[in-house]
Amino acid sequence: MVYYSWILAFHVMSFVSWMAMLFYLPRLFIYHREYADNKAFGEVVEIQEYKLYTYIGVPAMWATILSGSLMLYLNPGIFQSGGWMHVKLLFLTFLIAYSFSLNTIRKKLINDPFYKSGKYFRFYNEVPTLLMIGIVIMVVVKPF
């Protein structure tokens, strides 16, 4: 348990990095869609989307999952402290699915720049915020 605080710090930093990608990538989708007529702009946005997802989002997601798993391994009693951890892990499952869905959308936008509307992506951009709120409440308030 000597290193638990260091693992927790790494976990929080990884989570923040992952959330940055989850917040910004859908915003790039909005630009991609709303400027679909501008092919040169679309090509630049496609590169940004790829790099953000591949070089920041995916490694941060896995770092978050691995560090969180290590903390659960080191402190299995946390599951006996109420149902908050179970709810947090449920929200995490949705966040992972959302993260993978972004890559699917990214690829669809490459083939069809008119895929969905800017309004749709503005709504979709709110999903990680709601999940993050749920996760933070579970960890800090522990309502269950």
Question: Sign of the CA dihedral 120, 123, 126, 128?
Answer: negative
Per residue in 32-51, pLDDT (tens digit) is 999 989 999 989 999 999 99
Backbone angles phi, psi at 125, to 5 degrees: -65, -20
Cα–Cα–Cα angle for 57, 71, 102, nearest 5°?
Answer: 20
In this predicted structure, what is the pLDDT of residue 144? 85
Q: Is the pLDDT of residue 8 over 90?
A: yes
Q: What is the pLDDT of residues 82-124, one digit of tens each?
A: 899 999 999 999 999 999 999 999 999 999 988 999 999 999 9
- pLDDT digit string, tens, across residues 121-136: 999 999 999 999 999 9
What is the C-alpha to C-alpha distance for residues 71 and 52, in angstroms, rounded to an integer?
27
Distance between CA atoms of residues 43 and 39, nearest Å: 6
Buried-state track 27-54, b at ≥16 Cβ within 10 A, e below 16:
ebbbbbbebbeeeeebeebbeebeebbe
- pLDDT attached to residue 81: 84
Distance between first and last Cα of the chain? 25
CA distance 109 to 61: 22
Q: CA separation (Å) from 62 to 14, 31, 114, 123?
A: 8, 27, 31, 26
Q: What is the pTM of this model?
A: 0.91
Please check the confidence at residue 13 and state whether its pLDDT lies above 90: yes
Residue whose tokens read 């560090």: 67
